[in-house]
Structure 1
Amino acid sequence: MKTHREYLIQQLHLRKEQGFTLGQISASSFRYQPDQKEILDLWEKAHLHDISEKWAPFVRFIFLNEDEKRSLSSRTARLLLDNRNSIKGFYEITRESTTFDLPDRLSDFLRLRIISNEYFEIYRKIMRRINFEYPPKEYSSKKISGKINWHKTIQKSKTFFPLDFQIKTWQRQFDTPENTLLLLAAHWLKSDCTKILRNNLQDPLQSDEREILLNIVDTINQIISRFPFKDVQNSMRKFTHEKKNSEKINDLFYHVKKRISNNSIKNPQYGHLYSWVSKYVELDFEGNVQHKRKFIIKNIEDVDALYEVFIFLEFFNYLKNVRKTKCVLQKHGRTKYKIIFEINGKQVEFFHGKEYSVGSKNAWALDATPDYSVEYKSQIIAVFDAKNYQKYASEKNPAKILDSMIHLNKAHRNLESFNSKYPETPKDIVEEYLKLVQDNEEKAEEFRQEKEEQARKENRKFKEDSKKDNKRGPKEQILSYLANLDVKYGGLIFPRYDVERKESTTLQHETTNINNLVLETLRLDYHPKEMIRTRQDTMESMWNVIQQRVKEVDNSQDIKK
C-alpha cells in the first residue's frame, strides 16, 4: 500500500509532465493555488506521518537526478578511499539525533566496486605481458631436441657412438609467486562478495548493493574459469583456505616483493598488483560491512550534508595532488576535520564546520558556523558556504489571489481590465461569477464573499508556513558571516548554474563587491559530465583567494611595523 508521501511524489511528477516548471512547483504558494487542492491535502497528510522536510527542499529532492546522487556518492567514496591514511577512522555526519560514519556501508560497496575495477585493469595489463620463468631442464633422450651436453653424454655413454644424449632445454614456467598472487586476489574478491551476499545482515542488502556484488562475482568467475595456465590455478588453490594474514600468505607476499625489488619481474604492473593487494587486505570489506549501517539518502538534507563532505575532500585532494603542497587532515571537535597546509611556506588552516561563539575572539555579535572557514595567524581570512540548491522566483502568491477575490465584482464591468490587473485569478472562478451575476447579483456576491473567505484562509496558512520556511537566502547569510566575523571574502559554492535557466535568480561565477566585502559565487557540480571541469576551476579559485588573503594579512602587518 502506498504512503501519502508516495502518492504526493506521484502527483508532483504528474504536474511536471503537465507542463509546470520546477520553479513553479517548488514555490511555497504552489500548493495553495485553487486548482492544487489535492496536492495541499496530500502534503498535509504526509507531513503528519512520513515527511519532515519543508516544501521547497522536499520538491528539490524528489526531482533530483538519480545519476547525480549516484555520482556524488561514488566520488565521495573515491576521495575517502584515496585519503584513507589521512582520515583516521571515519568521517562523521550528524543528522538530528543520529550520527553516521563515512565511509558508511554503501560507501564501502562503492569503494569495493572502485578497487575491483582497479584490479580488473591491472589484470588486463598483466595478461598482455604475463611474467614467466625460463628454468633449464635436463633429461636423457635418444632424440635430439635441444642443446646437447656433450661432456655428460660422453661420460654416460657405454658405446663408441652415444645412443642416448643428455639434452638441456628451456621451458616457460608460469607458476610463479606473482602469478599465484594475481589469481589469489581474484579469489579473495569473489569470496568476500559471496560471503556478504549470503549473510543475513541486520540491515538487509539494498538492490544497488546486491547489483555491485553480483557484477563483481560474474566478472571474477570469467577471469578464473578462462585463466589459461592450469599450473597457476593449481598453485593458487593451495592458498585459498589460508587467512589473509597467515604465515603462508605473508611468505607469498615476501617472495613477490623480493622478486619485484631485484628486477626479476619486468612488467611494472606487478608492482601495482602488490600495492593493490596490500590495500585490499587492509580494508577488510567482509568484516567491516557486517557491523555497519547504511547512510541512506532519504531527503535533501542528506544530499546537502554529503555535498559539504565532497567539497572539503575535493579541496584536500587538490592541495595534495595538484598543488602538491604539504597538507594534513586533523580532527577538530568531535566529528569534523580541518586541513593544515602551506602556501609559500606559511601555515594555513581550512576548517569544516567550525563554530564561532559570541564573545570569542572572532565572533562579536552572533554565533556563527560557516561551512568552511580559513584561518591564518589566528585570523579568519575567508569563509565559504556550500549551497546545494537553487532559489526560484515565485510566480503566484495567495495574497494576490485574495486581492483578486476582493475585487471580483469589477470583472463584469470591464473583464479585459480585470484580467490584466489580476492575472493570477483562476479562470473557472471568473467564469462562474460572471454567469451568476447575469442571473442573480445577490447570489453572485455570496459566491464572491465565499471565495474571498476561502482565499483569506489559504493566505493565512501560507503566511504561517512561510514563517517556518523563512530562512535567510544564501547571499544574506554569508554576508552576515562576513560582518560578524570581520572577514573580507565570502564564497558561495553551488553545484550547477541553474536547473531551469529562465527561472533561476541565483547568479553563478559572479563576483560582487559590497562595502569592501568581496562575495563570489563558485560552481562545483556533481553531475558526471560537469564534475571534472567545474572541479578544476573552483579549486583553483579557492586556492587563489586564500593565497591573496595571506599576502594581504602579511602586508598589513608589515605596514603596522
Structure 2
Amino acid sequence: MFEKEIQQEIKFLNNPNNGNIKQSVLADDFFLDLPQYHELKKKFRETEYYSRHWKWHQLVRLVLEPQQTRQYMYDRLLSLLLKHRRSYDEYFILKTQEGIHQLPNPLADLNRLEILYERYFQIYLDIKNKIHFDYPKKEYKGPTIRGAINWNNTIQNSSTEFPIEFVSSIRQKEFETSENILLILCAEWLFRESSRLLQIDFKEPISEYNRSLLSEISQKTQMILHDFPFKSILNESKRYWNLSSSDPRIKQLEQKTKQRINQRLVRNSNYVKILEWIDDFRSLDISRVTDSTPTRHILDSLENVDTVYEAWIFLEFVEFLHEKGLLINLKLGDKAHCQFEYRGLIVTFWYEKSFSQKEGHAWILLHVPDFTAMVNDEILAIFDAKNYSNTGYYSESQNKMLAYMNNLDTSFGALIYPNYPKNWDDFTRDERMQQLVLFLDTKNSEATNNEIKNHARKLVDLAWIDLPKEYQTIAEPVAFRKFEHPIPGKKARFHFEQSLSLIRMPPEQSEIAINLKNQSLQEIFKAIVSRIPLIA
C-alpha cells in the first residue's frame, strides 16, 4: 500500500539536501524506533515488504544501493557462465524466495536480444552494400562460341579437320554461397523467435517496452525476407528455414564459410562478424522460452540480488581455478559443483549442498552452507556469502557460521562479504579522525593536540587512493581477517584448532575491488588446499 511512498521517504532522508542521514544509520533496524519516525514505522508495517518478512535494513539497501553495482555483478556472472558452461542446454539454477530462476534466462535478458538485433542490422547493411559473390567458369559445348575457347578440348573432341563444335567457357556471378545463405537465415531466426514470443500468453505479461521491441524485430526482419534484392539467395535459403540454428546442416554452412574465409575466397570482414553473431544468438537460446518462463529480471528483488552474489562468487572461483589450469569439471543445474585436482586428490567445491543427520554429516540440524569444499566424503572447509552493507548484522552471520562448524564438525569456516572487513573508505568521519590522530601522535610526539587535529582535518575527507602514501598504511584495503581458536597462550577444552575467516569480495569494477577479489579467491583456495593433509 505504501511501497512507493516508503521508497521516496528513504531517498529523502538520505539525500544530502534534505535529511542527510547516512545509509549505515538509516539502515539500522532501531532507526524506526525513534519517536520522530513513528509514522514511517507504521507505514512500513503496512507494506508488501513487511508482509514478506523483509527487514528494514533490506529495504534501505534495495532503495539506496547503486543499480550499476548490481548490474556489473550480474553481467560478470552471466559472462562467466556463458564462458564455462559445456553446452547451450546447461543452466545455472538459482533458488530464491520468489521461486526458481534459471540462468541464462533469455526472456529476462531481452536487452541482449536487442543488442543482437542492432548488431545484425548493421552487419546486414554492410554486407548488402558490398555483397560477396563467386565468379566461377561455366563450360559450354556446341556450335556457338560463348566466351573464351578452350582449343585443346575443342580439337580433342573434334572428328573433322575444322571443328564444327567448340568447347568454350564464360564467367558468371553466383550469389548463392554459404555465407550469403547464413546472412538471410539470421534474419529468419530473428523473425521466427520474435513473432513466437509475441504470441505467447505469459503468466506475468512482458513489459510494454519489450513487446514493442519484439514487434520492431518481427516487422523489420519480415521486410528483409520479403524484399531482399538478391532473390536467388533468398530462394536458396528457404531450404533451411524450418531448421533450428543448431541443426547439423546449418553447422555445415558455417564450416564451409569458415573454410572460404580462411582460403581468402571471401574477403569482406563482415562475414566473420556474422559467424560470431550466430554463436552469440545460440548462447541466448531464445527458442526454449515458454509461457512458464519468468518474465521478471532476477535483479528486481533484493533477496534475488543476495542469491546472485552467491552465484557470482561460485563462478569467480570457477574462473580462478580455470586460470590456474586446475579446473577439471563443472556441473550446473541441480547439485552444482566444480572440481579440481591437488596433490593427487579430487577436491569438489559444492554450491548449496545440504547436509542432514541421515547422511551422517550433520550432528543435529539440516544445514545448507553456500559453498562446501570436500574430498570424497570429508568436509575440508565451508563458506557462506552474506551480501550485507550494514555492520550491525555481521555478528549474526558469524554466529550462524559457528553453528555450521559445530554441527558439521569441521575446523574451518569463512564468511564472504562485499564490504567487510572495513577499510578506510568504509569508516565514518569520526572513525577516520580517530585513526589519523593516533597515527599522527605516534609520528610526531612533540606536536600539540590542536596541531595534530588540524593536520588530520586536512586528510579526513580524502578517499584512500588520494591519501599520501605514508598515510595509506593506516587502513589499507584488506581482503580477509582470520580468527583462530584456541587463542595463543590458552588451551582449548573442547574445540581444537578452529579458524573463522572474514573475507571481502566486492562485486565492483574498480581497480581496488578487483584486487581485493583476487586476493580473496587466493585465500579461499589456500584455506581449502591447506586442509588436504588433514584427511589425506
TM-score, normalization by structure 1: 0.66
Q: What is the alpha-carbon distance in structure 2 between the residues aligned to residue 179 and residue 59 of structure 1?
A: 54
2:336 alignment partner, SS class = strand
Code of the aligned partner of 1:545 = A
369-378 or 71-80, which moves further after superposition? 71-80
Shift of 1:134: 3.8
Q: 1:92 to 1:165 in 2, by over 3 A?
A: closer
Residues in 2 aligned to 1:348 and 1:341: alpha-carbon distance in whole angstroms: 5
1:244 corresponding residue in structure 2? 244
Change (3 A) 1:71 1:187: farther
SS across alignment from 1:291 = coil
> Quick one: distance in 1 between partners of 2:522 and 2:388?
22
Amino acid at match of 1:522: I
Indicate conservation of the 8 Å contact 2:508/2:514, yes or no.
no
1:522 aligns with 2:503: yes
Tell me which residue corresponds to 2:301. 299
Q: Paired residue for 1:14?
A: 12
For 1:411, the equivalent position in structure 2 comes to none
Greater length-normalized contact order (CA 8 Å, ≥ 6 residues apart): 1
Q: Structure 1 residues 207 and 357 mapped into 2: Cα distance closer, same or farther (>3 Å)?
A: same
The alpha carbon displacement at 1:344 in A equals: 3.9
Quote the sequence identity (%): 26
Equivalence map 1:201-280=2 (5 Å): 201-206=202-207, 209-210=210-211, 213=214, 231-237=232-238, 239-240=240-241, 242-244=242-244, 251=249, 253-254=251-252, 256-257=254-255, 266=264, 277=278
Larger mean Cα displacement after TM superposition, 69-78 or 525-534: 525-534
| Cα distance change of structure 1 residues 55 and 347 upon mapping to structure 2, 3 Å threshold | same
Deviations, residues 180-203 of structure 1 (Å, cap 9, x unaligned)? 123312321233123313544332
For 2:172 and 2:43, how far apart are their aligned partners in 1? 77
RMSD of Structure 2 on Structure 1 (CA): 5.0
* Structure 1 residue 205, shift from structure 2 partner: 0.7
1:326 equivalenced with 2:251 (yes/no): no
Summarize deviations over 1:340-380 as a string: whole Å, max 9, x none: 33224311111222233358644446553321111124221
What CA distance in whole angstroms lies between the structure 1 residues aligned with 2:118 and 2:82? 14
Which AA in structure 1 matches 2:307?
Answer: A
Task: Give distance in 2, aligned partners of 1:153 and 1:189.
Answer: 51
CA distance in 2, matches of 1:488, 1:480: 12
User: What SS does structure 2 have at the residue aligned with 1:389?
Assistant: coil
Q: Could you tell me which residue of structure 1 aligns to residue 377 of structure 2? A: 378
Residue matched to 1:180: 181
Tell me what 1:541 maps to: 523
Q: Deviations over 1:24-74 (max 9, x none)?
A: 110112222233233223112226976531111121112222223333344
2:35 matches 1:59: no
Residues 479 and 520, structure 2, Cα contact 8 Å, conserved in 1: no
Deviations along 1:120-141, whole A, 9 cap, x unmatched? 899899999987534113579x
- Provide the secondary structure at the position in 1 that maps to 2:521: helix
Work out whether residues 259 and 265 of structure 1, in 8 Å CA contact, stay in contact via their aligned partners in 2. Answer: no
Residues 27 and 392, structure 1, Cα contact 8 Å, conserved in 2: no
CA distance 1:379–1:216, shift in 2 (3 Å) = farther
> Per the alignment, do residues 188 and 155 of structure 1 end up closer, same or farther by CA in structure 2, a change over 3 Å counting?
same
Does the 8 Å CA contact 1:196/1:286 hold for their aligned counterparts? no
Amino acid of the residue matched to residue 244 of structure 1? S
Q: How far is 1:308 from its partner?
A: 1.8
Written as runs of structure 1 = structure 2, the 5 A alignment for 1:115-514 is: 133-138=134-139, 148-151=149-152, 168-170=169-171, 173-206=174-207, 209-210=210-211, 213=214, 231-237=232-238, 239-240=240-241, 242-244=242-244, 251=249, 253-254=251-252, 256-257=254-255, 266=264, 277=278, 285-294=286-295, 296=297, 297-320=299-322, 323-329=325-331, 335-357=334-356, 361-364=360-363, 367-392=366-391, 472-496=395-419, 501-503=426-428, 509-514=479-484
Helix, strand or coil at the partner of 2:310: helix
Q: Distance in 2 between matches of 1:111 and 1:538?
A: 31
Query: Residue type of the partner of 1:544?
Result: K
SS of 1:355 mapped into structure 2 = coil
Structure showing greater radius of gyration is 1
